[in-house]
Amino acid sequence: MSMAERKPDAVDAIREQWRQERPDLDGEAMAILSRLARLLAVGTQQVESVFTAHGLQTGEFDVLATLRRSGEPYELTPSGLADTLMMSRAGMTGRLDRLEQAGLVRRIADPGDRRSVKVALTDRGLQLIDVVVTEHFENETRMLSVLSEADRKHLDRIGRLLLTSFETRA
- Per-residue pLDDT tens over the stretch 82-127: 999 999 989 999 999 999 999 999 999 877 777 889 999 999 999 9
Residues 6+ apart with CB under 8 A from 79: 89, 92
pLDDT on residue 5: 65
Residue with the bigger pLDDT between 169 and 30: it is 30
**Could you give the CA distance from residue 96 to residue 55 in angstroms, rounded to a whole number?**
15
**Could you give the CA distance from residue 42 to residue 58 in angstroms, rounded to a whole number?**
15
pLDDT on residue 4: 60
Q: Which residues of 121-146 are buried (b: 16+ CB within 10 A; e: fewer)?
A: bbeebbebbeebbeebeeeeeeeeee
Among the residue ranges 10-24, 105-119, 141-155, the one predicted with the least confidence is: 105-119
| Contact of 117 with 109, CB cutoff 8 Å | yes
pLDDT on residue 36: 95
pLDDT on residue 115: 80
What are the tens digits of pLDDT across the range 43-67? 999 999 999 999 999 999 999 999 9
pLDDT on residue 1: 55
Q: What structural domains and CATH numbers belong to the chain?
A: 58-136 (1.10.10.10)
Read off the pLDDT of each residue in 145-162 and give the average, rounded to a whole number. Answer: 96
The CA–CA distances, whole Å, from 31 to 8, 35, 159 equal 12, 6, 16
Residue with the bigger pLDDT between 170 and 132: it is 132
Residues 6+ apart with CB under 8 A from 47: 58, 136, 139, 140, 143
Judge whether residue 170 has pLDDT over 80. Answer: no
pLDDT on residue 140: 97
